[in-house]
Amino acid sequence: MNTLQNRPRLKFHSRPAKHRYSLVFMSVLLILGWTVMPLLLTLTYFSVQRDLAAGFAAILLAFAILVCLSIATRQFLKLSTADGYELLIHNDVVFLFGLDKMENKRLWREVPLSSVKEADYYPISGSLTIVLHTEGRPDLELPLWAFGRHAEKSVVEYLRTRIQVVDIPSAIVI
């Protein structure tokens, strides 16, 4: 009897971007941030005219907020325009496929479970993630938030039977 045929094969496709609730929430926050930014720059301008030291501090703060907002917007566009992910677990090898439309790159990673030392499971609602720590390879982050609850439960249960999965409570994650 062939043992490779007895191992389960799990295959999941990510939900479309319009069904990912975290993207809706993030888009509202980014719209709010970019809407408030002109007001912040105007207040910074008046602050420079009143007091040079306070104005300089306001310029640094506005610049830091602008950089963070730009980085968050870029990451948001990268996630929201992605074609999605496909997660395949076959013969104890984890495959993660994806497509990045902004950079026009096809993402593809594979990790054999035999090379995984342990996995960190971050069960934060809206950003469910498992990071597979491997020996001699870069770690693989599985974005379970993109697949939904059923896929998350199936993948976590399967991985717990094969490797050590460490739960990282949301109170520790900053």
Question: 135-153, pLDDT tens digit by residue?
Answer: 878 888 888 877 878 888 8
What CA–CA distance (Å, rounded) separates 12 from 154? 10
Choose which CATH entry (2.60.40.10, 1.10.3720.10, 2.60.120.460, 2.30.29.30) describes domain 3-15+84-167. Answer: 2.30.29.30
Nearest to 100 by CA among 75, 118, 123, 121: 75
- Residues 3-18 have pLDDT tens digits of 445 556 788 777 666 6
Tell me, what's the pLDDT at 174? 46
What CA–CA distance (Å, rounded) separates 139 from 96? 12
Here the tokens at position 36 are 């408030």
Number of neighbours of residue 35 by Cβ within 10 angstroms: 9
Here the tokens at position 25 are 């929430």
- Residues 158-169 have pLDDT tens digits of 888 888 888 877
Q: DSSP per residue over 89-135, as a string?
A: EETTEEEEEEEETTTTEEEEEEEEGGGEEEEEEE--TT--EEEEEES
Which of the four pLDDT bands, split at 50, 70 and 90, describes residue 1? very low
Question: What's the count of helices (H) and strands (E) in the chain, helices before strands?
Answer: 4, 8
**Which residues are paired to 88 by β-bridges?**
11, 95
Question: What is the domain partition of the chain in residue ranges?
Answer: 3-15+84-167, 21-80
Question: Could you tell me how far CA 132 lies from the centroid of its own chain?
Answer: 14
- Residues 43-70 have pLDDT tens digits of 999 999 999 888 899 999 999 999 999 9
- pTM (predicted TM-score): 0.57
